[in-house]
Structures are given as structure tokens and as C-alpha cells.
Chain A
Amino acid sequence: MDTRRQHNMSNIEERLEILIGRVVDEEASDADWSELESLAAGDASVWRRLALTRREHDALRAGFEHVAAGADRIEAEAPGPALATILPLRSARFGAWSGWAAAAALGLAWLGVTGINTARQQPAAGFDDQSEVAAVSPASFTADEMLDQYMARGMREGWVLGELPKVMVETRPADEGDRYEVRFIRQIYERAYVDHFYEEGFDELGETQLVPLNISNLFANQSL
């Protein structure tokens, strides 16, 4: 078989695949159908390939739809009810700022408001001793002091490993005064020791259930 003939066959093959794809994807025009029929007139296996491609597409779609159905549980929740009005306002007010200058100013504000993470890891003065804590009503603590206690005790007992850098979610002008509201996520890095792992599975009725996971096998496989 000479090179030109091989090339022609390869082109026909690719064209056939595109036509079959259009039919399967319901994008075929009348002209595409006519072309496919004329190709099939010389090669009956075209119909078999079409059927096979359609079957594979349906199966793949079924698999995808099941996995992607989880997407329907994910909602795009706005961080706050005032988002719609605040965002354009923020754009207008900061519109003239250059990007880096705004970032630098917000970064300074960030440090000023929240302090440095390592400071947070030290227990609050006067509240280190658990006996003292027990003697004081929780109502007399501020939220920060209570969190400090949580961190201090966790670190002492080994289940708190530290606090990760805060993640800024949103900054915007505060409703009152010449200040800014900064919304952020605090992440405490902890550890726990567990005896068993479970994974989500399904029983014979299709109900979700937790299935024990043999973790030693899992780890053995992973280390291969």
C-alpha cells in the first residue's frame, strides 16, 4: 500500500469518526447523515461502529452523571447577605487604586488586626493553669481568651499542633466609620488517634452505609 493511499484511508477514517461522533452527540446535520450513509454503503461495519460508540457514550454518561450528581449538593453561598450591594461599592471605591498598593494596604491592616500567628499559640496571661481556669466562670472570658485556652490545653496535651495562617475570604469597607471589615478563616491544625477507618459505601438496597476499611492493607498497598 503506497503512502498516499494510506493517508487517504486515514483521512476517511478520521472523517468517519467525526461523523459518528456528531450522530451520537445529536449534532449531525442532514448532510452528515447522507455522508455517513454513503460511507456505510461501502462498509457495513460503519453501523456496528456507530452502535458501539453510542453504547459506550451512554455508559460513560451514566457513570459521569452519577459522580457529577454530587455537584448538585454544592451551592455557591454568598459570604454575606450584603454581597450584591457591597461588591460594586468596593469596586467603585478602590477602583483608582493600583493592585499592589491595595494589596499592601490590606496586608498591613491584616497584621494590625490579627497579630502574628505565633503569638496566638501562647496561652493568654493568667489563664495557663487549669485550676485557675476552673475557678473562673466561662462567662468571664472573652472569645479570644477561650480560644487561647483551647489552644494552650490542646498543645500541652498534644492534640493541637498549631494554627495555620489565616485565609482571607473577603475585605470590604465597614458599614460605619473609615474602617474595613476583613472576613477570614482560622484553621487549627490538630491530630487524633483512631482505631478504625470507615469509607462510605452502599448496601444491597443502595442505601449509604459506613464500611470498615482495612487500613493496614491500604497502607501496605500504598507503600508498594
Chain B
Amino acid sequence: MRVSMEQMQDSSQQGDDRRARIGPDDVQDLWRRHRRWVAAVLLAHMPEGAELDDLLQEVAMKLVTHIHELRDPDALRPWLRTVAVNAARSAGRRRRTRLRRNSAPARVEATAWSGDEADPARAPDAREEANRLLALARELHPDYAEPLLMRCVRGMSYRQIADALALPVTTVETRLARARRMLRELTERRTEPAAHDLAERGA
């Protein structure tokens, strides 16, 4: 008998019995439901140059092999987030080691948005702004980048973000507000010199 993760998360009372009946398809369903926000966590924590797909694969493998160790089904989100944060930090350590060994590492960026295939009318300016904002958001401290990127996952509420981060909802709201302010300030700092250059060239 297959057990959905909603059922699994309903109560932790019968967690052991239910875990025993979670099949590979359930793990797959579980992963599909959570992988987008896991990507947000990884993007907030992973070092520049790391491959998002590789880290997602690492987290997925951990989920498959360790889900049975989760004693409290309600702790799924924080557990998955911890796995993702650890994967991102390990990537950072690996990258630092590689940098020490090799002074000329290949630089690989996360694939940026280069066009909207479904809507050719979308202006290049829009995708440039999208890529620029995402890059700037990733420059924020992870405490702020993480909720901000998680909020970009459709349907992810303040409550769900708070659960994953193990924080009160009010703290998540405050961090989101500050993250947005910091992002705007960062954007202004980056665009002001360019505007200044243009003005000087015009003069």
C-alpha cells in the first residue's frame, strides 16, 4: 500500500509504521514536491562555480538513502534543508581545495536565463533584469538570500518557509523585507556607476 507524504506528514505518531510502507515511488513523489525549494536553498548557499544539478543530485541521493532515518515526519523540511545546506557547504570546501591545488580552475556558472522560448515577445531587457537580480540575490548573506529565493517558488507560503528554516513566521517576514531592501540597494549601487559613466560620455 502506498502512503502519500501528506499522510506521512499528518502525524508523527505512527511514523515508524508508515515509513516502513514508503515505496520508491513515494520517495520520488516526495522529491518532486520539494526539489524546487531545495534548489532555492542550494542557490542561496552554494559557492559561485558550483553546479546546481550536481548538488541537487547529491541531495536526492541522500533523500533516497536516508529518508528511513527520519524519525519525525514533521521534520522533513528542516531535515531536507540541512542536507541541502551541507551539500552546498561541502561544494564550497571542495572548491576551495581545488583552488589551492590549481591556480586556474575552469569557471562554470549556473545556466542563466537566455530567452523565453514560449514567448519570443519577452524583451531581452526582461531576461537581463531577471538574471541580474538573481545574481545579486545570490550575493546577499544566505540568511536573507534563502527566504528570498524560497519565496520565488510558486505556492511556497511564509509558514512553509518558516518550517524549513525552523524560524518563526515573523522572523521570516522581517528577513524577506530586509532582503528586498538590500537587493534594491545593491541594484542601485551597481547601476549608479554605469549611469554616471553614460552621463559623462554624453557630456
Interface of A toward B, CB cutoff 8 Å: 14, 17-18, 20-22, 25, 27, 52-53, 56-57, 59-68, 70-79, 81, 83-84, 87-88, 91, 169-170, 197, 199-202, 206, 215, 218-219, 222-223
Contacts and interface: CB of A to CB of B under 8 A. Distances in A.
A14 B36 CA distance: 29
Given A60-B133, A68-B36, 9 more contacts: A14-B177, A17-B177, A61-B152, A62-B126, A62-B127, A68-B39, A72-B36, A75-B32, A76-B64
Given A63-B130, A71-B39, A56 B177 contact: no
A65 B152 contact: yes
B114 interface: yes
A91 B104 contact: no
A68 B153 contact: yes
Contacts of A219: 104
14 contacts: A17-B178, A20-B177, A62-B130, A63-B131, A63-B132, A63-B133, A64-B153, A66-B111, A76-B61, A76-B63, A78-B27, A79-B65, A206-B117, A222-B105
A112 to B, nearest CB: 22
Interface string B155-185: 0011000000000000001101110110110
Interface of B: 19-24, 26-28, 30-32, 35-36, 38-40, 43, 52-53, 56-57, 60-61, 63-65, 68, 103-108, 110-117, 126-127, 129-134, 137, 148-149, 151-154, 157-158, 173-174, 176-178, 180-181, 183-184, 187
**Chain A interface helix/strand/loop/mixed:** helix
B127 to A, nearest CB: 7
A75 B108 CA distance: 22
A25 B158 contact: yes
B90 to A, nearest CB: 13
Nearest to A61: B152
Contact of A74 (B26, B43, B53, B174): B53
